[in-house]
Amino acid sequence: MPYVHLSCPKVALCEITLFVADDAIETAIASLSGEVARRDGHVDVDLRDPADVVIAMYQVASRVTARLSVCVISAEAGDLVAEDAEPIRSAWSWISRRLRQRVNPREGCVIINVGAPSVFKVPDAIAQRRPGVVLWCSYGSGQTIVHVDREGFVIGRFEECDFAFESRELAPRHVRFESAPWKARAIEPFYVEGARVRDAAVLEHGMLLQIASLTFVVLAIQ
């Protein structure tokens, strides 16, 4: 399913990814004020500031059926999008209704809407702008943050892996990460948005990866 990725990279960290139907993508982005770039059926929209990102999200959701996937807002951006004025108030009400919980962005937050929705504080790797890829990982009833901080980072079952996890479904060395651009290289097959990957997949904000029994979501590429 194609997605719309909204951000304001020149101002502060505020990125929102929404999934929409194939035949609704042009309606979804109609009249958005930012710079639009299309890639493989997906759309990236660079906007002026965090408030514009949140407002654009609400505009998309008002035009088409959209599913919030990932929202990452730094504390700096949170101060700019926490105002109790329209249409920002309606935008946060829309998010809260879908998550079935109230969200306060003022101190920054991460929202993951994969399976059971999850809201948590911005990880240090994102807040401190550490280079690399920041992933949210879900396993069974647990979750953690994985910071892919270098070329050659490996996820697998062996203790020597950079992120090692004991699971019979996970290969000893399952996925290797490469940079420029950041991508996940299959040592053993994995899935991206439900599609089987045997070679490599370029990583994008909000992307969902299934590596054996582990679910990963791309939170940031820095």
The pTM of the full predicted model, rounded to 2 decimals, is 0.90
Rounded distance between C-alpha atoms, residue 28 and residue 40, angstroms: 16
What is the rounded CA–CA span in Å between residue 186 and residue 197? 7
Average pLDDT over residues 173-201: 96
Q: Taking the mean position of all CA atoms in its chain, how far away is CA 89?
A: 22
In whole angstroms, what is the distance from residue 9 CA to residue 94 CA? 24
Mean pLDDT computed over 183-204: 96
Q: For a pLDDT cut of 70, what percent of the chain falls above it?
A: 100
Q: Roughly what angle, to the nearest 10 degrees, separates helices 88-99 and 50-63? A: 60
124 pLDDT higher than 90: yes
CATH 3.40.50.300: does it fit domain 125-221? no
* Residue from 92, 59, 86 nearest 73 by CA: 92
What CA–CA distance (Å, rounded) separates 2 from 182?
A: 20
- Angle (CA) 119 11 181, round 5°: 75
Q: Specify the higher pLDDT residue, 174 or 141.
A: 174
- Token look-up 């993951």 returns 112
Contact 221, 205 (CB under 8 A): yes
pLDDT digits 0-9 by tens, 13-69: 899 999 998 889 899 998 898 899 988 778 999 999 999 999 999 999 999 999 999
CATH 2.60.200.20, the chain: domain bounds: 125-221
Tokens standing for residue 82: 């926490």
Q: CB under 8 Å to 85, separation ≥6 — which residues?
A: none
> How much is the mean pLDDT over the chain?
92
Token pair listed for 187: 């040592």
